[in-house]
Structure 1
């Protein structure tokens, strides 16, 4: 279905004040920030709209906008990316200013946001909603969805196209007929009290399941996805077993904006014809990639965002993992190998390498590279399987596959602070040492557990298989 993705909700202006803290004030025990720059960006529904536009979609933002300097700045930021259809509003534009250093927020200053009446949406808003391929309501509890006339228009849209409602505790309830509602865990806990589910235990999957089911029925929604942060999202259809979509592990320096990234991705996928289960799976992947890239603080107005199909795993996210680690002032560690049959020696080396820094990237030999190094019978597992097994380890943050015989080219792209090699290399010069030292890094050797190797495991399997009566050696070899 053609037509824009229409985002309806409360627009905010976010500002990051960035600098370095190197001393304490002489007149009070507080840090002194030497300001380096200020970065304004859209916030609230405006951020969700910008992220959808950066996915390459035609987007229209419908939002109450005040007649003040902050609103003018917000419209200036959005103008190159999307169309803004304002709704008259008697309040003042909320501005959230975060003072940050070394990837961490020191304080947040909130100004503006005074309440005021939301005016009639007018005929232009009605025309925009009638032309939509999908609608995303990003409710930040500041009155955008309280207008009875606008709610009537949204209810009509929900009967015609996919409507995603991202609720807020201070906002209005979703209109009936929403295709998907996306509360987070705490929002679901508060909202479900109205439908008889107590707000006792907030964080469990069982509690999220009960709340998602109650909210889907109570709100009259086709489905409710309760987002669970690092654990992914739970999708309930109001009855039957819910679908749980796990999130890949990613370093999280700043989760701000992850909910907007999730909702924008889900709405876009539904507009493309995806099922709710497919939309939530894609939205979890997109939100994970967004967080890995640094969250809202990494958003650049004028830049393209990672597509919603980014899975947040594998080599596609290596750059995001490294960028997030360095933004937080952390240490990037890399190691490498074939990791054909993962064994205790591998795990010991990987855990030791991860302990040297704040993220671990594994450089994995491709299938062709392993064959050249180990012979035509290797690898025993294809590279995609070996990569997935490594990514499942808590100590591994990302994996990059390289096709050369040595990892130098991969290392030159990654530029880790530490290159860790497992084995009996102590006192000798590692082949990669000079390369790593060229950008100020260090190459180190880690202890290796004696007697553990893939070759030994294969030999043991063949020997034991040959000793079995009526054994099929070809099966063992396979």
Structure 2
């Protein structure tokens, strides 16, 4: 038995510790964000005149994915081609300033660096001006690109291939497919069918791109996730990928993996911002987490959170590890049962001793915290299952719970001794115990093993049953009763 609780490592801590080496290959763009005011209409045409007061240039496309990976603590090398022009110089300098290795970003004489300038007034983008190279990249530059990919990938943990249609022609894809590769390859492409030969572990199409892969419409709204799950095999097969994460903008994502139940994440939409590149943030966080050893389900959840953070700001999206860590907090500790099962499998593989307990935790009090600290001391990882609102009503009556299920779960997740929290809908967590297979089932001291409905389930999986010390005169019912007495006395006065 562990004498002290060793808190489970969070996904962000794992990225920070591992600092994975990632190679980003693809279309390196320069984004421009120009803003000003409109006070008149042009004489020569019915067009608004924007008086500029600010200009900003930042990496875009594959370059933004590289910047986000660096911001998340990865060691990043960018591989690609830019023009030997002012835009190319600005882009290379911006990448280097962000901590990206640009030694394999080649500036090609006579070529033009693709730029995308957004001009806005107030909070509205008025126009986007795209300036790109119309001619193919010269053959010697593409030969050098292949050599650079091979060199940069030799000691990499992961490779991200970002394809927007201007760099990776069919011949280059075939040559890339023949090269040695890292254990993890992620493809983010407008048309992943073109990159099928790369046989990626993971592709990240949006809804429209998934429809290209599936060959049919996904519908609209929440229906898209359900339809993508039904078409999982077709989507993955068309992309040549082991797994796919279909991103559904404001509706979150759905993870499609062979032989597994599709896993959803939910976005936290914010009012519309002038933001671009949330998909780059998602891909970067997903890659950094998975390359650091985080299970795919957990990596997707972290990537969703990173995208939620990034879209709150105007401009090309970037999310750093520190702000992701702050934003994740308790939210990453409250997980659904699919994700929790995957995380606990990993803990078991590391030899961690898993402790499980449950309760309503309607009004948190000293009896609860004492029991949870004691439960945590029985192993390495403490999992707390919280009754859903409907379950509490069935057990405690229609006037309960006082606090909703998510509020109760978040409060429990904020306790230092707790590693994971999940919400269950049944009256007792018997099926959840069977599924999660903890080493210890712990319950408050006002019970005996014979009284517990969960005893049979614990016995089936060989779990030890631990009865925790009882803290007298501390119960939720008593506390609610005292609050009502005080309120009643105040009303009479």
Per the TM superposition, whether the score is higher than 0.5 is: yes
Q: Distance in 2 between matches of 1:183 and 1:293?
A: 23
Cα 1:211–1:254 change in 2 (3 A) is farther
User: Is the 2:33–2:315 contact (alpha carbons within 8 Å) kept by the matching residues of 1?
Assistant: no
Contact 1:286 1:310 in 2 (8 A): no
Offset of 1:231 from its aligned partner? 1.1
Partner of 2:473: none
The equivalent of 1:187 in structure 2 is 209
The verdict on how the C-alpha distance between 1:16 and 1:36 changes in structure 2, with shifts beyond 3 A counting, is same
Question: Shift of residue 186 of structure 1?
Answer: 0.6
Counterpart of 1:446 in structure 2 is: none
Task: Report 1:314-329 matches (<5 A).
Answer: none
Question: Which residue is equivalent to 1:433?
Answer: none
Per-residue CA shift, 1:433-468, capped at 9, x if unaligned?
xxxxxxxxxxxxxxxxxxxxxxxxx679989xxxxx
Change (3 A) 1:239 1:189: farther
Greater relative contact order (Cα 8 A, min sep 6): structure 1 or 2? 2
More helix by share: 2
Change (3 A) 1:91 1:258: same
Shift of 1:87: 5.3
Distance 1:264 1:284 in 2: 11
Q: Distance in 2 between matches of 1:220 and 1:257?
A: 25
- Is the Cα contact below 8 Å between 2:192 and 2:203 reproduced in 1? no
Give how far 1:267 is off: 0.8
Question: Corresponding residue for 1:4?
Answer: 21
In structure 1, the residue matched to 2:75 is 58
2:280 to 255, 260, 263: 260
Matched position secondary structure for 1:131:
coil
Q: 2:105 aligns with which of 86, 93, 105?
A: 86
Q: Is the 8 A contact 1:91 1:116 kept in 2?
A: no
1:220 paired residue number: 240
Q: Alpha-carbon deviation of 1:106? A: 0.5
Are the counterparts in 1 of residues 192 and 213 from structure 2 also a CA contact under 8 Å? no
CA distance in 1: counterparts of 2:219 and 2:161, whole angstroms = 28
- Which of 229, 237, 250 aligns to 2:257? It is 237
SS of the residue corresponding to residue 33 of structure 2 reads strand
Q: Give the Å deviation of 1:388.
A: 5.8
The Cα shift of 1:175 comes to 3.8
The 5 A counterparts of 1:32-43 are 32-43=49-60
- C-alpha separation in 2, matches of 1:236 and 1:57: 25
The equivalent of 2:448 in structure 1 is none
Gaps in structure 2 of 5+ consecutive residues: 1-17, 333-361, 364-400, 412-479, 486-493
Going from structure 1 to structure 2, the CA distance change for 1:46 and 1:250 (only over 3 Å counts) comes to: same
Aligned positions of 1:75-154 closer than 5 A = 75-80=92-97, 81-84=99-102, 85-86=104-105, 91-117=111-137, 119-120=142-143, 121-144=145-168, 146-148=170-172, 151-153=174-176
CA RMSD across the alignment: 3.7
Query: Could you give the per-residue CA deviations for residues 122-148 of structure 1, whole angstroms, max 9, x where no partner exists?
Result: 534312111111111111111236443
Deviations along 1:217-262, whole A, 9 cap, x unmatched? 3333221000000111100014443111111233331341001000
Residues 50-78 of structure 1, C-alpha deviation per residue, up to 9 Å, x if partnerless? 11112222110011223333222211221
In the TM superposition, what is the alpha-carbon distance from 1:270 to its structure 2 partner? 1.3
1:274 matches 2:298: no
Q: Which moved more, 1:304-313 or 1:264-273?
A: 304-313
Q: How does 1:462-473 map to 2 (within 5 A)?
A: none
1:310 shift after superposition: 5.4
Q: Does residue 173 in structure 1 map to residue 195 in structure 2? A: yes
Q: Is the 1:232–1:244 contact (alpha carbons within 8 Å) kept by the matching residues of 2? A: yes
Contact 1:248 1:313 in 2 (8 A): no
Alignment of 1:323-472 (within 5 A): 381=403, 385=407
Structure 1 regions of 5+ residues with no counterpart? 317-339, 342-378, 390-457, 464-478
State the alpha-carbon separation in 1 of the partners of residues 111 and 481 from structure 2. 75
Deviations 1:272-329 (A, max 9, x none): 1112111111110001110123351x65xxx95655445469899xxxxxxxxxxxxx
Q: C-alpha separation between the residues in 2 aligned to 1:175 and 1:284? A: 28
Contact 2:273 2:313 in 1 (8 A): no
What is the DSSP-based 3-state SS (H/G/I as helix, E as strand, rest coil) of the residue aligned with 1:97?
A: strand
Q: Distance in 1 between matches of 2:63 and 2:193?
A: 17
Count residues with an aligned counterpart: 327
Structure 1 position 192, deviation (Å):
2.0
C-alpha contact (below 8 Å) 1:66/1:93 kept by paired residues:
yes
